[in-house]
Amino acid sequence: MSQERKGAATFKGNPITLVGPELKAGDAAPDFKLNKDLLNEVSLSDYAGKVKLISVVPSIDTGVCDAQTRRFNEEAAKLGDNVAVLTVSVDLPFAQARWCGAAGIDQVVLLSDYKAKSFGQAYGVLIQELQLDMRSIFVIDANDKIQYVEYLGEMT
């Protein structure tokens, strides 16, 4: 059973429970399985030897998540081939693909945690009450060690 962190964040000022550990810089990055599309999964090892910048958003179809992902797409173009910029949400792969096409996103890979929400649990960002992943950022080096973590404390 995953660890529950009651009151670890708030939603519109009310305490919410995050499921999973609170990761810190220096921790080994947990493996994950996320959907790149409906049938194909990817894992941490698919990005072996690269720095991974993982932007986690609750839903790509909200204004803040949209703006965040567009900004990461702009910045990703400057980072080169040794950095994989990934955005994770629980949106269905169909919705992610539709949004990417409409938004012209071509530098960021959108990945879906919709099936088992195992990424959210492994990275400590699954909001128990909403079954969404909490906005957060993870920077993982080429050796799969976490170098930076930021969990957003308030979600509106």
- Tell me, yes or no, if 65 is annotated catalytic: yes
| Cβ atoms of residues 87 and 55 within 8 Å | yes
Nearest to 30 by CA among 143, 131, 119: 119
Long-range contacts of 43-50 (CB under 8 A, 24+ apart): 44/140, 44/144, 47/84, 47/86, 48/144, 49/82, 49/142, 50/82, 50/83, 50/84, 50/142
Q: Which of 65, 76, 109, 146 is catalytic?
A: 65
| Cβ atoms of residues 116 and 133 within 8 Å | no
Residues identified as active-site: 65
